[in-house]
């Protein structure tokens, strides 16, 4: 097999192994993290704003199914896909327990053609699954093929320029850590002793990968611009009033030019022409 194909398979296998390892506790720990909850709520609001209940939704990298359950309960017809079998199992369990009607499939974003010929009114991807794909342009084509003309992609994506992270690690003189998001290559990110391969994007570089697949941008805002990143949850817990103020600031100026290119994540809406 060609060397590059083997490298891609290894990257995908590592990432799957890492998410399999945390699947059981993933949802509980995320539900306790106020920044993650705030980011998730903003994706929910965006889907609610752009897509009417009753529409078909594809959740790209659904993890343990928190969003699948939420949208299914609101009357959307949801299909969740994830590359980690353990996450898929958690999501199916969750949907069953909630008594909601949704389909969860063990399908990677890189193999979305397995869902053909089904097409969806919209797709969303919450909290970074698209950072884990090895070829974003190819993923954009595959996602575009699964959307009807005029269909939307709503994605929260881990960004490159995170002011808190740069300040924090520069203050500690950990220069390599401060620069980690600037690598154009996939980066090995540790997760409970295993490795998630991650590529960080500016909104512009992310959007470029989707242009050839016929998408254009509808809206863009920063998430976690003034609010510290999710891994600083202990700080957020000690300073709840400050973080509430920073959250309001994020919501107020997060879509301003300049501001919207920064942040721990960005939330982008794109339409397939
Ligand atoms: C940070 S978690 C987010 C999970 C979920 N969207 C949420 O908001 O809780 C990233 C998820 O993306 C999944 N993932 C990683 N690479 C993937 C790929 N190539 N295809 C589909 N899912 C993938 C992981 O298994 C994991 O469940």
pLDDT, tens digit only, all 273 positions of the chain: 688 899 999 999 999 999 999 999 999 999 999 999 999 999 999 999 999 999 999 999 999 999 999 999 999 999 999 999 999 999 999 999 999 999 999 999 999 999 999 999 999 999 999 999 999 999 999 999 999 999 999 999 999 999 999 999 999 999 999 999 999 999 999 999 999 999 999 999 999 999 999 999 999 999 999 999 999 999 999 999 999 999 999 999 999 999 999 999 999 999 999
Mutate to test the pocket of ligand 1, among 26, 61, 146 (most ligand atoms within 8 A of CB): 61
Ligand 1 is surrounded, with C-beta below 6 A, by: 15, 19, 30, 61-63, 66-67, 81-84, 87, 108-110, 126-129, 132-133
- Between strands 215-223 and 265-272, the pairing is antiparallel
* Ligand 1 atom at minimal distance to the Cα of residue 128: 1
181/137 Cα distance (integer angstroms)? 19
- Nearest CA, atom 4, ligand 1: 63
Sequence-distant (6+) residues with CB within 8 A of 130 are: 60, 61, 109, 136, 139, 155, 157, 206
Residue 173 alpha carbon to ligand 1 centre in Å: 32
93/64 Cα distance (integer angstroms)? 9
Structure confidence at residue 2 (pLDDT) = 87
Whether the predicted model's global pTM rises above the 0.95 cut? yes
- Nearest CA, atom 8, ligand 1: 126
Structure confidence at residue 142 (pLDDT) = 98
Residue 242 alpha carbon to ligand 1 centre in Å: 31
* Ligand 1 atom at minimal distance to the Cα of residue 66: 9
Structure confidence at residue 16 (pLDDT) = 98
Residue 62 alpha carbon to ligand 1 centre in Å: 6
* Ligand 1 atom at minimal distance to the Cα of residue 36: 8
* Ligand 1 atom at minimal distance to the Cα of residue 196: 15
- Nearest CA, atom 20, ligand 1: 108
């Amino acid at each position: 097999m060609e060397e590059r194909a083997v490298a891609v398979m290894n990257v995908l296998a590592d990432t799957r192994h890492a998410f399999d390892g945390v699947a059981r506790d993933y949802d509980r720990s995320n539900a306790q993290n106020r920044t993650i909850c705030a980011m998730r709520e903003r994706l929910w609001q965006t889907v609610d704003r752009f897509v009417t209940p009753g529409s078909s939704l594809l959740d790209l990298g659904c993890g343990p199914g928190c969003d699948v359950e939420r949208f299914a309960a609101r009357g959307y017809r949801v299909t969740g896909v994830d590359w980690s079998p353990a996450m898929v199992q958690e999501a199916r369990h969750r949907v069953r327990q909630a008594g909601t009607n949704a389909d969860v499939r063990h399908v990677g974003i890189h193999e979305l053609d397995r869902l053909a010929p089904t097409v969806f009114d919209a797709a969303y991807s919450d909290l970074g699954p698209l950072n884990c794909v090895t070829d974003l342009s190819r993923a954009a084509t595959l996602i575009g093929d699964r959307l009807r003309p005029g269909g939307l992609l709503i994605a929260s994506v881990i960004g490159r320029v995170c002011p808190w992270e740069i300040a924090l690690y520069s203050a500690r003189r950990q220069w390599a850590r401060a620069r980690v998001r600037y690598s154009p290559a996939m980066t090995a990110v540790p997760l409970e002793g295993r490795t998630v391969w991650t590529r960080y994007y500016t909104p512009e570089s992310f959007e470029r990968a989707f242009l050839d697949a016929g998408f254009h941008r509808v809206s863009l805002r920063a998430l976690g611009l003034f609010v510290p990143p999710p891994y600083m949850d202990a700080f957020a817990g000690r300073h709840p009033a400050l973080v509430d103020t920073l959250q309001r600031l994020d919501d107020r100026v997060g879509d301003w030019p300049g501001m919207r290119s920064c942040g721990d994540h960005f939330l982008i809406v794109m339409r397939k022409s």
